[in-house]
Structure formats: structure tokens, C-alpha cells
A and B are shown apart, each in its own frame.
Chain A
Amino acid sequence: MRPFSLFAFFERMEHGLAQLVRGGLGLAVRLMTMTIILLALVWLGYLFWIGKARLNTEFLFGFNSVVAGKAGVYPALMGSLWLLLMVFLLSFLPGLAIAVHLERGHTGRRAKHFISLNLSNLAGVPSVVYGLAGLELFARQLDLGICLLSASLTLSLMALPTVIITCREAIRRVPAELEDGAVALGATPLQALWFQILPAAFPGILSGVMLSISRIVGEAAPLLVLGAVAFVPYAPSSVWDYFTLLPVQIFFWSNQSQPDFAPNAAAAVVILLGITLIFHLLALWIRNRWKKRILL
């Protein structure tokens, strides 16, 4: 008998695996995938079915009410859209600037390592902790009160680590030859960064930012702590206003004892998913247009 060889073992294993795939394993995996997708679609269809009575403009543009059939989602919808915009504004530019500084600035190796470590830790901190921190820091210490601004600042803080990490990754993926080429032509580091590196990294930056922000907008926990209220009779008109948000509204409606509110919750979920979908499609569209500009 020949001595055991890892090379031969891998070869036999791969061969066996290929046979298994041919002999039905591939089919099984595909079936499983299809089942999962199907389940998701069924669940979405179920939500539609439950909420279909409420999926109309009256619900979309109506204000909240204690009567389930009259309650609308408008304040929560506007609150979520406001928050989306604010978090984008507050986390995108600072996050990108910090990422650029970490990647291209003169940060020492040890400091960089220390910061990276803390960033990954911060990205993993539970959202409710951010909520508490935001409540204390923004609402109380800085005396901003319970308002859209405190919420936006808190969620931006929460989005920032992920935004920085993904932006760094995108900038790092730009080949060094590109910067060499620009600098060799006499471009200053800032010119090289602005005219060559950032445009090349833009698709990656955009996906990263969109991904982290759309996740943030679905959060309910930190905002419950921060004092998002279930019943707001008006849509926010400035960042100093009280606010409610779709996830919070869904949470409260699904907790109501009367079953009449279930369709409301289902319809609101559909709307929330719709917003996320539109957001992602928008990002995809911008990214493709940008790539086309580069690759024509």
C-alpha cells in the first residue's frame, strides 16, 4: 500500500465530489436555494396579502390614528426618509475623509493598527448600546433633546465604523500603479487622490456606504431607546422635531392587542422593504453609469 499523501487525497476527494455533484448533489443544492428564495417570496406575498387592504395612498399619506383602519404611515415614512438623508450626509463625508486619511495620510503603523482594531470592534457593538450612548451624549449632555437630529447623529455614529471600513477597502483596491502614473506626471498627492484614486474607488465606496446606511435605516432598537414615539400626529418639518420611523411604527403596531393593526404592520413592512429596494436599485444604477463612464 502506498503511503498516505495529502496531494493524492485531495485529488481523490475532488474527483469524488465532482461525481457527487453530477450524481444529484448539485441538484439538491440548487433545490435548497430555490426553496429558500421561494419561502422568502411566499412570506413577502403573505405580507402583501395581509396588508393589501392598507396598501393605498390613504395609508401612505395618512396620519396615525387610534383607529386601525384610519391610521396612516406618513409621519413614520417621512421620518425614515429624513433619517436616511441625514445619516447619509453625516456619515458619508466624514467616513470617507477618515478612510482617506487612514489609507493615504501619514498615520503611523501602530496607530493605524490600533484604530483598525477599534473600528472593527465598534462595528460589532450592539445597536441598543449606541442608542443609549446617543441618548446620553446628544440628547442630554449636548442638550439637543429627543429629536430627529439626535437620532441622526446617533445612527451616523453607528454607521461610521462600517462606512470607514468599506471605504478603506475600496481605496485600497485601487492599484498603486494608477497613483504612480498620476504622480509621475507631476500631480500633487491631493490631485492624484481627487482626480484618479477616488473616481476609481467610487463604485466600491458607494456600495459600501449604501449597504451600511440601508441597514441602519431598518434599525428600531436604538431609536426606541432614544425616544422615538409611536404616536406622532405630524410629519417632521425640521431636524428639531419629534419623530417616528417605519421600524418603530411596525414594532408598535405589531405589539397592539387589537388584531386590526396587523394589516397596518404588514403594509408598513412592505413599504420599508420598498424603500430599501429603491435605495439599492439607485445605488446599482449610479454604479453602473459610473463604470460605463470609465469603461465606455
Chain B
Amino acid sequence: MDPQPLEKTNPSLGDKISVSGVNVWYAAQQVLFDLSIAIRPCAVTAIIGPSGCGKTTLLRLMNRMNDRVPGARMTGLIRMDGRDIYGPEVQVSELRKRVGMVFQKPNPFPGSIFDNITFGLKIRGMVLRSFLDDRVERTLRQVHLWDEVKDKLKTSALNLSGGQQQRLCLARALAVEPSVLLMDEPASSLDPINTARIEELIVQLKAQHTIVMVTHNMQQAGRTSDVTAFLHKGRLIELADTATFFTNPKSPSTQDYITGRFR
């Protein structure tokens, strides 16, 4: 079959997620302006920018968490694997099963470590005990938490430290094998050691997952990401390979931001 027509109808093929011409309003206030960005598969895309620039909003569009914000309105097109994720036939819960999310503040469920990781599997109807056991061990090893908690899987996740809780939340998201992983400042509530661990993990995870990460920490973006996007006042100012982005930024306002001269 000739791939050419498909290319034409779908110029975004090859990108994991393509956001095109997106505007977002909260009540009367517009927060994103005609924003377009392509997310490369199996790579880490970092979104940076000053507070209130709309980076979290952009992230939450990709798994439609913004649907839950009262008064939020959106126009434009967001495709994942070539399909419109806001299309009428799309079931939001099905979309979110393929697009995992890790939040800024660790939010483990009040229950055991085991229950935290298996919740996502159970709502998909995976309840076989041996399978769950395997998956819990595998994902906890993946986030380097297994050795710390292997003897207390049945104890409450709320007793873990902040860093452990955040790794547990990452494990919880990974357990269901999402193809995309969205992270909203995943290390902002962690100390330097735990931050380093999470960053290491992010780099490892991109082998199997497409990762989009919001961060206000430019060093973190530089260390972990392949592509960096700079947002300012709801507009995409610059999008480039991370190395180019930080060494040779095109836009003057990007330059100001990364050198700390921003106001």
C-alpha cells in the first residue's frame, strides 16, 4: 500500500502526540494561545516556563484531565497516534489508561503499597493474584523501591517518606504500561537525592515510554530531556533539541529566561 496518501491526510504521523492550534480558556481568561507542539515518541520532552505560563494546562490537555476543571474551554486539535483524543468516539477513561500521569505532590491512595499499584490493573479487570504479584515486584524494581518496601507491601503507603511516595506513584502509573507518561514537576517536593533518583529513572523510562515533563527547574530539563519547549504567557516561544535549546537559543526571551535575566 502506498503510504503517501496517509502522510497527506495525517501530517503528524511519526509524532506520538501532536497539538495543533490549541486555545484554552478558564472562564473568560485565555491561558493558551494558538499553541502547536509535536511530541516525539520514546523521548523526553521538557516544558519549561515561568509560573502561570500554561505549562501544566498544556500537560493536562494530553490526558484530558482539564475536562475536570469547571469553566475550562478548549479549541484546536490534539492527536495521539494520529487519532483525535477529543473526538466524540473517544472514551476518556480509555485514553487515560494509555496516558499515565504523575502529579506534583505525591498522592498515594490511602491503602497498602500493594493496593496502590494494583488499583490501575484491577479497574482493567486484571485480578489474577500471581499476575498482580509479578507486576507489583516488576514495577517496584523499575522505580528502585523494591528493596525498601518488599517486606511491607501490605502496610500503608501513607507511612512512606515523600520520596518513596513519589516513586510509588510513578510505579503505580507504570504498572498499567501506558505508552505516554505525563509528569507535572515530579521532583518539586523532593530533596536532592530523591530528585536525582527520579531524574535517573526518567532517562531510563524513555526506552519504552514517551515522556512529557513539566518543570520549573532548567537544570533538570537539561539533564533529562531530549527536547525542550519554552512557554511564555500561554504561547510557545521556542521548541528545540535540548542541547541546542540551552546552548544556542534563537529567541531573545528564551535566552533571557535560561540566563535568569527574565522578568
A interface, CB within 8 angstroms of B: 175, 177-178, 180-188, 191, 195-196, 199-200, 293-296
Contact = CB atoms under 8 A, between A and B. Distances in A.
Contacts of B119: 182, 185, 187, 195-196
Interface in B213-238: none
Interface stretch (B90-98, B185-193, B241-249, B253-261): B90-98
A209 B59 CA distance: 41
Given A191-B123, A296-B156, A185 B110 contact: no
A228 to B, nearest CB: 44
B65 A185 contact: no
A157 B93 CA distance: 38
A187 B63 CA distance: 13
A18 B176 CA distance: 57
A296 B176 CA distance: 26
Contacts of A187: 93, 119-120, 123
A184 B156 contact: no
B110 A178 contact: yes
Contacts of A181: 103, 107-109, 169, 172
B112 A177 contact: no
A185 B169 contact: no
B76 interface: no
Query: Interface on chain A toward B: helix, strand, loop, or mixed SS?
Result: helix
A199 to B, nearest CB: 8
B75 interface: no
B201 interface: no
A187 B109 CA distance: 13
Query: Interface on chain B toward A: helix, strand, loop, or mixed SS?
Result: mixed
Contacts of A200: 110
17 contacts: A175-B107, A177-B103, A177-B107, A180-B65, A181-B172, A184-B101, A185-B96, A185-B97, A185-B123, A185-B172, A186-B94, A186-B97, A186-B123, A188-B93, A195-B119, A294-B156, A295-B156
Given A177-B107, A195-B119, 6 more contacts: A181-B172, A184-B101, A185-B176, A186-B93, A196-B119, A295-B110
**Most A Cβ at <10 Å: residue of B68, B108, B119, B176:** B119
B159 interface: yes
Nearest to A195: B119
Nearest to A188: B93
B80 to A, nearest CB: 14
Interface in B110-124: 110-112, 119-120, 123-124
A177 B158 contact: no
B155 interface: yes
A287 B60 CA distance: 36
A177 B107 CA distance: 6
A250 B79 CA distance: 72
B197 interface: no
Contact of B107 (A178, A293, A294, A295): A178
A199 B101 CA distance: 23
Interface of B: 63, 65, 68, 93-94, 96-97, 100-101, 103, 105, 107-112, 119-120, 123-124, 154-156, 158-159, 169, 172-173, 176
Contacts of B93: 183, 186-188
A40 B103 CA distance: 52
B94 A296 contact: no
B131 to A, nearest CB: 17
A241 B261 CA distance: 83
A182 B94 CA distance: 13
Contacts of A180: 65, 68, 103, 107
B65 A294 contact: no
Nearest to A191: B123
Nearest to B119: A185
Contacts of B156: 294-296
Nearest to A293: B111
B109 A186 contact: no
Contacts of A195: 119, 123
A127 B214 CA distance: 57
B76 to A, nearest CB: 22
A175 B172 CA distance: 19
B103 A294 contact: no
A183 B110 contact: no
Nearest to A109: B70
A184 B100 contact: yes
B120 A294 contact: no
A182 B111 CA distance: 13
A184 B123 contact: no
A135 to B, nearest CB: 44
A294 B105 CA distance: 20
Nearest to B172: A185
Contacts of B109: 178, 181-182, 196
Contacts of A295: 110, 156, 158-159
B154 A177 contact: no
A181 to B, nearest CB: 4
Contacts of B110: 178, 199-200, 294-295
